[in-house]
């Protein structure tokens, strides 16, 4: 028997002696815990461990979704703009004209225009294109501006008292005008033109709060909220009554003179 065998027998004797000692104390079995022989496992990075306690790592802060800001919300408390007015109109159903419209004709031109032309409402072409004064009457108005006044149409602003086409091109009814006129008034407030030209009875009477007809009103300076207003005939009337063009030209010359523009001798 070599030294290693001797040492092994001594260890066995020690173990037996220890076990007999435990049995004498009443111990009937000795458990070996499985955790004692398990290899250590990797710890989750998101947890903090103490001796016998696992403490959850601090929770990530909740994700707060930014509310979607509309133009109106973003500009709440800010001065109105043409964009915010258009957003306010939205897909408007405030009056019965919405039922037959194809598009809302808001208006177009220079937002800082010196001259604002206001008509009564969109016609067929305007409703189709979503732009004011683009039909035959619109071409005549464009000629008045570009050939008569010698300025570009894009330099003025053009809109209507109601933004949706009345059926069969009838005049807008009082309840429709009353509902929609608030928007043209807001447009005027934003644009702040030096002169407003009202085209025909509907914008003239409703903007100025008068029952007088356009034949008596045209060519005579009026005022809306401190802004000079020149009433004149609607271009669609001129298409039916071309002999009246000379009166419109007289009215337009008054506008040009008021603004210090060079007035051509002849149209
Ligand atoms: S006419 Fe004016 S108030 Fe009436 S539905 Fe059109 S945008 Fe609205």
Please name the residue whose Cα sits nearest to atom 4 of ligand 1. 95
Tokens of 62: 């909740």
Contacts of 173 (CB under 8 A, 6+ apart): 166
Indicate the burial class of 172 (C-beta count within 10 angstroms; 0-12, 13-18, 19 or more): buried
Q: Could you tell which of 87, 105, 127, 162 is best to mutate to test the pocket of ligand 1, judged by most ligand atoms within 8 Å of the CB?
A: 162
Ligand 1 site, residue 140, Cβ cutoff 6 A: no
Ligand 1 site, residue 247, Cβ cutoff 6 A: no
CA 79 / ligand 1 centre spacing (Å): 22
Residues in the chain, how many? 267
pLDDT tens figures, 66-105: 433 445 545 567 899 999 999 999 999 999 999 999 999 9
Q: Which of 108, 152, 110 is nearest to 131 (CA)?
A: 108
Q: Does residue 43 have a pLDDT over 70? A: no
CB-facing half-sphere around the CA of 186: CA atoms within 13 A? 19
Q: Does residue 53 have a pLDDT over 50? A: no
Q: Does residue 22 have a pLDDT over 90? A: no
Please name the residue whose Cα sits nearest to atom 3 of ligand 1. 180
pLDDT at 77: 76
């Amino acid at each position: 028997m070599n030294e290693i065998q001797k040492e092994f027998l001594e260890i066995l004797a020690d173990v037996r002696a220890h076990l007999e000692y435990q049995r004498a104390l009443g111990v009937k079995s000795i458990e070996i815990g499985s955790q004692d022989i398990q290899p250590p496992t990797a710890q989750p990075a998101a947890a903090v461990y103490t001796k016998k306690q696992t403490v959850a790592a601090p929770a990530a802060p909740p994700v707060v979704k930014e509310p979607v800001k509309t133009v109106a919300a973003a500009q709440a408390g800010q001065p109105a703009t043409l964009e915010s007015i258009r957003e306010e109109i939205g897909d408007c159903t405030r009056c019965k004209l919405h039922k037959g419209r194809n598009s809302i004709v808001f208006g177009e031109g220079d937002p800082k225009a010196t001259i604002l032309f206001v008509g009564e409402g969109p016609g067929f072409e305007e409703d189709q294109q979503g732009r004011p004064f683009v039909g035959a009457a619109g071409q005549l108005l464009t000629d008045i501006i570009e050939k008569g006044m010698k300025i570009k149409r894009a330099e003025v602003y053009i809109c209507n008292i109601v933004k949706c086409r009345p059926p069969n091109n009838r005049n807008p009814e009082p309840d429709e005008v009353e509902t929609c006129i608030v928007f043209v008034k807001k447009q005027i407030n934003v644009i702040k033109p030096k002169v407003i030209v009202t085209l025909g009875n509907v914008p003239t009477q409703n903007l100025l709060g008068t029952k007088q007809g356009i034949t008596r009103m045209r060519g005579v300076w009026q005022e809306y909220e401190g802004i000079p207003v020149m009433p004149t005939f609607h271009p669609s009337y001129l298409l039916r009554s071309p002999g009246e063009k000379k009166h419109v030209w007289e009215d337009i010359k008054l506008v040009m003179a008021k603004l210090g523009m060079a007035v051509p001798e002849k149209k």
